Amino acid sequence: MNPTPPFPRLTGSADVSVRPARPGDASAIARVQAVTWRTAYRAVLPVEVLDGWDDDAVSASWAAAVTAPPTRAHLVLVAVERDEVVGFVASAPADDAPGTVELGPLLVEPRWGRRGHGSRLLAAAIDLARADGVARARIWLPEPDQVSAGFFESAGWAADGWARTLETGGEPLRELRWHAELDDEDAPR
């Protein structure tokens, strides 16, 4: 079972909040991911990936991430509005960079967009990383995803020049790495 870490700033009203994901959230997390990818990434990901979505397999994968993370530092947080999971973020220590947390994905179902859920998820993930002494954060974003790039840029993040190409079964997907320094007083809060 995933031990519940301390949450220095997980706030919200009774109607809107961020909390650690629970085992029963796995299907809602998978739903948010499917709807968001089908909406935002229809032109980026191959149709076969989106239309061949296996809800049960994705739900099982998220259930494992929530109930049996490899370490205490592997987290899944959910954004909740009126008791409905509307978004999520996953975070883990970067394998290749001590003192760095890697986010991914951070998604909010489009119908719940523009209500601050993404900002609350990002702030909670960063607060938890800071509480663990992490100095840097990063995330990989699909190069064509200008909406997410704008969101992270407005939160004080910047592309750091690294790129990778993922095989998708169709056209390769190029992703750019974005980062933020967490020990900087101007860093995202």
Residue 39 lies in a domain: yes
124 belongs to a structural domain: yes
Residue 138 domain-assigned? yes
Helices 55-67 and 26-40 meet at what angle, rounded to 10?
A: 130
CATH code of the domain covering residue 137: 3.40.630.30
Residue 94 domain-assigned? yes
Residue span of the structural domain in which 117 resides: 17-181
Count of domains in the chain? 1
Residue 6 is assigned to a structural domain of this protein: no
User: Cα 17 vs. chain centroid, distance in angstroms?
Assistant: 16
Domain membership flag for residue 189:
no
- pTM value is 0.87
Partners of 79 in the β-ladder: 18, 87
* 168 domain residue, yes or no: yes
pLDDT in tens, 63-111: 999 999 999 999 999 999 999 999 999 999 999 999 999 999 999 998 7
